Chain A
């Protein structure tokens, strides 16, 4: 029926598996941010909520500008970014080979996977007191928390990525009489790489959470630390400002990794 066709056509944005242009996509995403910002502005403008609970956008921005001018914002950002980069890299560098190992060999999977699962279910926050006891309240403790929160998840994600390499790819290598290790290098790894990249992107988001958790509880610097002190002085505008910055950092790194992934693995969608 023609009418039916027309309806599907107009609803394509919100139809299952519907298509959308990049411009439209960006337009819709930006509109959501804009609408939320306007609601925020109007709520504070008309004084619907006390400024202690919800400061105005202008106050948040001026507070951030002030912290930027004094160098405080830059220092807080710097130390937090340093911690997350270091913690995330250490975790990734160790998780990749282990994930690949247990994804490739059932024997290693049996040895390691249940243990990793066991630890993964322990709430990371519960490790905070222990890590302070072990390593004080310095950078080492932050790295440890990021590591505990990220590493075990990464291992399991990478294992799954490696496992989902098609069985016939392995058989291809075998029929070409390639040695096992070479099949792993030349077929399994390149085949799993795009999915592993995605796993890293997702786990980086979690790493941010664990960083801020660690800094909230016991720290003398960093974004999380500044948020806790702000609470003590009822500086809600600072809390909001730093939350916005955290969100922005997350959004940009995620988009950057997505973009890099599309460039790196361009061969997957040439059409």
Chain B
């Protein structure tokens, strides 16, 4: 497997009047071509910062981050981003929201319509082309956002806790939908989450981050077979992998807690 996204020795410090915060320090991670990698960690560990840097929305201080060997210095159409907030434009209907991205990517009107239509079908939203975002549930909105990010064929997908605001049932549906799409079409994905079950279920590898300053603590390869089904969640193998990831995170949150009590 060739490398798609390569992050080496990356560090990022935020400074404000209240002082400096080291968000990332010596962060190293490689995501292979058509690989699905989930990045998990406690809240505030810098995982969203990392995604912003990968998206080109945020700068970094040291180290390198490249996609197909090219340095990431700005946002670009080679990376599709799905934000946790739905970011559907409320004055455009479902179809127009997907078309919006395609037109920005330079597609003709007719092309944009066809591609948008087929991507709405891909996420199971045929029949909702004329619905406005205010008519859609959270899960449906996020499906449109995924369709939009996939529509212009980016080299990779960056997803920042995309299902974080959804209820448990909808979240499971979305995970199955995403796995289904991924297994059929294969795409490089970096998926940020704090939901361990979600990370294990979706990924080829789960990267666990340390507390701030964030770096990779350990990487757990997910050896579950594909295609994945939700029944797998209760298998001993799944449970074992989930345990491994959880233990790595827990030692981090325990460390954070003891640090806090030591300071107090």
0/1 per residue, A175-218, Cβ < 8 Å to B?
11110000000110011010000000000000000000000000
The B-contacting residues of A in range 38-63, CB under 8 angstroms, are: none
Given known A169-B87, A175-B55, A177-B104, contact A271–B135 (CB-CB < 8 A): yes
Is B83 an interface residue, CB under 8 A from the partner? yes
Give the chain A neighbours of B83 by CB distance below 8 A: 168, 171-172
Give the chain A neighbours of B135 by CB distance below 8 A: 270-271
Of the candidates B87, B89, B132, B133, which one forms a contact with A190 in the assembled complex, judged by CB atoms under 8 Å apart? B89
0/1 per residue, B82-95, Cβ < 8 Å to A?
01010101110100
Q: Are B132 and A267 in contact (CB under 8 A)?
A: yes
Give the chain B neighbours of A171 by CB distance below 8 A: 55, 57, 75, 81, 83, 87
Is B101 an interface residue, CB under 8 A from the partner? yes
Question: A interface, by DSSP: helix, strand, loop or mixed?
Answer: helix
Is A138 an interface residue, CB under 8 A from the partner? no
- Nearest A residue (CB) for B134: A270
What's the nearest-Cβ distance from chain B to residue A125, in Å? Answer: 40
Q: Are B132 and A175 in contact (CB under 8 A)?
A: no
Q: Are B90 and A267 in contact (CB under 8 A)?
A: yes
Total interface residues on B, CB under 8 Å, equals 26
Give the chain A neighbours of B57 by CB distance below 8 A: 171, 174-175
Complex Cα gap A270–B91 (Å): 11
Given known A171-B57, A174-B75, A177-B77, contact A270–B105 (CB-CB < 8 A): no
What's the nearest-Cβ distance from chain B to residue A251, in Å? Answer: 28
Is the interface on chain A under 10, 10 to 19, 20 to 34, or 35 or more residues? 20 to 34
What's the nearest-Cβ distance from chain A to residue B189, in Å? Answer: 15
What's the nearest-Cβ distance from chain A to residue B83, in Å? Answer: 5
Is A268 an interface residue, CB under 8 A from the partner? yes
Give the chain B neighbours of A265 by CB distance below 8 A: 91
Complex Cα gap A174–B93 (Å): 21
Complex Cα gap A190–B88 (Å): 13
Q: Are B75 and A175 in contact (CB under 8 A)?
A: yes
What's the nearest-Cβ distance from chain A to residue B98, in Å? Answer: 12
The A-contacting residues of B in range 73-131, CB under 8 angstroms, are: 75-77, 79-81, 83, 85, 87, 89-91, 93, 100-101, 104-105, 131
Give the chain A neighbours of B134 by CB distance below 8 A: 267-271
**Among all A-B residue pairs, the 10 with the closest Cβ atoms:** A176-B104, A174-B75, A267-B132, A175-B81, A270-B135, A175-B75, A168-B87, A168-B83, A172-B87, A168-B85
Give the B-binding residues of A (Cβ under 8 A). Answer: 166, 168-169, 171-178, 186-187, 190-191, 193, 265, 267-271
